[in-house]
Amino acid sequence: MSVPAGLPEPEVLVHTGGRAGFLTLNRPRAINALTHAMVRRIDEALTAWEDDPAVTTVVLRGAGERGLCAGGDIRAIHADARAGGTATLDFWRDEYRLNARIARLAKPYVAFMDGIVMGGGVGVSGHGSVRVVTERSRVAMPETGIGFVPDVGGTWLLGRAPGELGTHLALTGTQAGAADALLTGLADHFVPAADLPALAAELTRLPAAEAVARFARTAPPGELAGQREWIDECYRADTVEEIVRRLGDSGIPEAKETATVLLTRSPTALKATLAAVRRARTLDSLEAALDTEFRLSRAALRSPDLVEGIRAQVVDKDRNPRWTPPTLPEVTEAATESWFAPLPEGEELGLTPPGPAGS
């Protein structure tokens, strides 16, 4: 795609080649962080390709060398939250609907999860039918560090990870490399980063499964498989306080370090996240999880911790957030439960009909 001189490049490059339609997230200086316009453009492309017999495979990539997508544009979210605006809710509404659409796409959706893939980046890749990681992949839902909760279907994905591995990733925001992403069900195949251009070329002429099989290899060893025993034992506790206590008392250095990490996260976000992941395990669809996450995201947008967390991590970068309330015992069960309360009429995301699955 050529761009006339003087005009900025599109934030999403859209083109077809052979039998494939290519979506390239194109904000490399921001590690391709998602904007509302990008979400809309992806959705428009999927609409155009869904019934186009010439396009049999959709391929998602990220421009630059740093990663597929670092998540949503949290500076914009910070500004909107401080101003009490509605732009963020409008963005999330369309983003979550796109996440559900990707999961239900009738054609293979091949996501190149190379480099950094976090938050909203997981949303546009982790629900695809063919998810490819590389030795450079760092897949994470790091929301509790900014006073937020895993969204974009993250609770659905992490709630289905083996044992309590998903709980660990959700609460800590730990980055999963290739092997760990495969183990936890966040990805399907490992392909060396150097082979991605050749894989993209093959996808223009071969069925997705056949093309990926030509390049798939065994991923280098990860970390979570060797940590599974203490993770399952500690994270099966019913409360965040008990999880932290078990981690600290385990006698295992990695577990004790994890307890220290958790105590730096937003107490409110930790409790909402634990409840959300546990509830997601009982739901029968991604759409139901997204409906719940929309409620949680709306509550987070109106809480002091999201603005404070983004300030500390991204705006001022002092890495010293002042959470409200500051400790886990001060976050009551009633306060956590209020985040899950039904929204006023007309304000729900509404991907599922009213009833137990969507409530």
Annotated catalytic residue within 21, 62, 120, 177: 120
Q: Is 345 a catalytic residue?
A: no
The SS3 assignment for 359 reads coil
Pairing of strands 138-140, 189-190: unpaired
Angle at 75 between CA 88 and CA 150, to 5 degrees: 60
- Residue 20: strand pairing partners: 17, 57
Q: How far apart are CA 271 and CA 323, in angstroms?
A: 13
Token pair 């914009």 in the structure block, residue = 76
Annotated catalytic residue within 72, 123, 154, 173: 72
Annotated catalytic residue within 73, 151, 202, 305: 151
> Residue 138 in contact with residue 167, Cβ under 8 Å?
no
Annotated catalytic residue within 73, 80, 143, 202: 143
- Measure CA 275 to chain center: 17
Q: Is 72 a catalytic residue?
A: yes
Q: Is 333 a catalytic residue?
A: no
Give whole-number Cα distances, 302 to 221, 307, 325, in Å. 41, 9, 14
The SS3 assignment for 285 reads coil
Tokens of 55: 């396009």
Q: Is 166 a catalytic residue?
A: no
Q: Which residues are catalytic?
A: 72, 120, 143, 151
